[in-house]
Amino acid sequence: MFNQIKDLAGGELYLISSLIMFMVFFIIVGIYLLKLNKKHIEVMSELPIKENQSKGYEEN
C-alpha cells in the first residue's frame, strides 16, 4: 500500500496540500471553540429545553 503512495509521480503535492488543509481547518475550529464565550455555550445548550418548557409542550 505504501509503495502505491510513493509511486504517484507528482501526486505528492495533492496529498500534502490536502493534509495541510485538513490540519489547518481543525486547528482553526479548535481555536474558535476555545475562545468561544462560555456563557453563550451554556445559553445555547439549554435553548431547546427552555423553549419547549415555555410553550408547555410535553413529551409523551
Whole-number Å distance between alpha carbons of 25 and 23: 6
**What is the pLDDT, as a whole number, of residue 40?**
87
Q: Return left, alpha or beta for 35; rule: phi > 0 is left, psi -120 to 50 is alpha, else beta.
A: alpha
**What is the pLDDT, as a whole number, of residue 42?**
87
**What is the pLDDT, as a whole number, of residue 27?**
98
**What is the pLDDT, as a whole number, of residue 14?**
81
This prediction's pTM? 0.54
Is residue 15 within 8 A of residue 8, CB to CB? The reply is yes
HEC string of the chain? CHHHHHCCCCCHHHHHHHHHHHHHHHHHHHHHHHHCCHHHHHHHHHHHHHHHHHHCCCCC
pLDDT tens, position by position, 3-58: 666 666 666 778 888 889 999 999 999 999 999 888 988 888 888 776 666 665 55
